[in-house]
Structure 1
Amino acid sequence: MSVSVTPLFPGLPGGPEVLVVLLILVLLFGANKIPKLARSTGQAMGEFKRGREEIEDELSQMDDEEADEAETTKSTETSTDAN
């Protein structure tokens, strides 16, 4: 009688895989540098998020400006057509 374990999400690392990766990280970088690596990774992710939000804000401002210009053009055309 053999028991086969089917992962819930194939392709995602499970418990044993995560432990192996953590062990390799400790061997490569040492236990003292892992918190520094995690901190710098978190800071990099924060910078990326801020940059993405700035770009999204700029794009939404551009869309708003284009909508305002289109609205102004349309109202100008309507007023000149009425004359």
Structure 2
Amino acid sequence: MTKEEFLQRYKDENLNIGEYIIVLDNITDEPFVLGCVYDQGVWKIYESGERYGHGILKKVDNEEDAFNYFYQVVLSQHKLENN
């Protein structure tokens, strides 16, 4: 899916990811971030926790694969928060 499709799906499904926020425009070391950003020629899906900087979960070459994977990461967090 594209970035816009992801944002619409996230909104439509009213996903609850607890303390986490979603960042799609840069990589940050702020705590509790799930992110997907185009950086240095690749899409990077990353997470930052409470006490450490960001960690790259996956790198992919195209937007569709990036946001399909990122959606699964967000959906996993939603399931953790709502069980």
- TM-score, structure 1 normalization: 0.29
The structure with the largest strand share of the pair is 2
- TM-score, structure 2 normalization: 0.29
Identify which of structures 1 and 2 has the higher relative contact order when contacts are C-alpha pairs closer than 8 Å and 6+ apart: 2
Work out which of the two has the higher radius of gyration on C-alpha atoms and give 1 or 2: 1
The structure with the largest helix share of the pair is 1
